Amino acid sequence: MTADASARALDAVARTRAGAELAAAEIELLVADFVAGRVPDYQMSAWLATVACRGLSRAETVALTRAYVTGGETLDFAASGRVVLDKHSTGGVGDTVSLVVVPLVAACGVAVAKMSGRGLGLTGGTIDKMESVRGLRLELDTDEVYRMVDQVGMVITGQSASLTPGDKATYALRDVTGTVDSLPLIAASIVSKKIAVGAHGVLFDVKTGAGALIPDQDRALELAHLMVGVATGAGLRCRAVLTDMSQPLGYAVGNALEVHEALDALRGREIPGLTGLCRTIAALMLRSADPGLSAAEAERKVDDALAAGAGYEQFLRWAVAQGAEPGVLEEPGGLPTADNQVRVVADREGYVSEVDPRAIGTAAMNVGAGRLVKGGPLDHSAGVVLRRRVGDRVSAGEPLAVIHHRDGVEPPVDLVRGAFRVSESAPAEPPVVLKII
């Protein structure tokens, strides 16, 4: 720690608190000083807390985004001679979109480099889901990432430990100082990773509703606009969709269960909620890669790939190239299966008017599909599979959902049954795509 750096940090806190706008160079130096240990935790925490209360301008958020990247590893796909895209979701219960969209877009000829994380709590992480696939390697070095994009057209891997050192250093403080939900800090954290990954463009899937990390729709929309603005300001091609998570996205909630559902979708099975959203996102990504492509042309490419099973074949090629045992995804028992399946049935006749995603996510977590603590073990076979969604008719005694769990785990039947509300009249099914930005 140095006196000069400490004085600069105090000045940044005071000016941000007063509503003054910091120059990009000042923000970059503040983050660099903190990463280098020249600024103590308590001063950086004070600045982050001030940002959480006062906010940042768009220019300041762009500067913070770039500061997070400085000093870390960055990927560069220029040598590939092709447009490489990325996709990011803010998280939701049963959010299986990446497992469908990444191979689907790659099957349409656009490369996708996706660095994903793990889940904590109700929203599962893509890496956790993919670890259900026997033999699949999900920690790749830089050369392997380049090779996968060049040879297979897609890669899904865990985030490199050397990316965005500024984000890593400040996130550790945000996690313990109540500043995780600050929109400028969220935007800078997410977009910095996309810059470091080296993608030319990114599609943001911003979830809202009870099953999302950001339930309030106005706030989720504000975050979507902010991320698009910051990413565009950093030179990325960028679109965003605001999507509804007032019920689980598809039928499956749980790691291997969601992989199985993603494969079904890629084989052309229409899964309410999931398939339509994947079509929309994939078409938007194709148009980001080729701005001259019309909406109708992009949608037709996606539909043709689904109808032909091209996305499914792409998924299989990618999985084997990244270490999965050949045939493991085509075998009936290739994915982990639970010891027990318990049906949860309706106690009255009517129409499903509500499926509480938080209750379903909690039930899945309680049987082992999610982590109660960071780094905790997972049961990849566990979870909940819906048999009814909002708008479906059900009779007394018919299944609402099935709980998958291992021996020795008490199935949370009452919690799952309580997630469903059955009414006499059919409700209007909410649209999944609320807004495209």
The backbone torsions φ and ψ at residue 203, rounded to the nearest 5 degrees and listed phi first, read -110, 120
Q: Which residues contact 349 (CB under 8 A, 6 or more apart)?
A: 394, 395, 396, 422
Own/partner pairs for 219-222, CB < 8 Å, 24+ apart? 219/183, 220/90, 221/435, 222/183
Q: How far apart are CA 250 and CA 103, in angstroms?
A: 18
b/e 65-93 (16+ beta carbons within 10 angstroms → b) = bbbbbeebeebebeeeeebbbbbbbbbbb
**Is position 380 annotated as part of the catalytic site?**
no
- Of 33, 86, 128, 167, the catalytic one is 167
Q: Determine whether 208 is exposed, middle or buried from the number of CB atoms within 10 Å of its CB (0-12, 13-18, 19+).
A: buried
**Is position 193 annotated as part of the catalytic site?**
yes
Q: Which of 230, 260, 216, 212 is nearest to 357 (CA)?
A: 212
CB 366 within 8 A of CB 382: no
- Of 174, 200, 287, 388, the catalytic one is 174
Residue owning tokens 């509703």: 209
- Of 8, 193, 237, 287, the catalytic one is 193
- Of 38, 88, 260, 287, the catalytic one is 88
- Of 45, 98, 132, 189, the catalytic one is 189
**Is position 175 annotated as part of the catalytic site?**
no
Q: Which residues contact 181 (CB under 8 A, 6 or more apart)?
A: 52, 214
155's enclosing H/E stretch is strand 154-158
Per-residue DSSP letter, 372: S
Residue type, position 71, single letter:
G
Question: What string of DSSP letters covers 227-255?
Answer: HHHHHHHTT-EEEEEEEE-SS-SSSEESH
Tokens at residue 172, please? 């550790």
Which positions are catalytic? 88, 167, 174, 189, 193
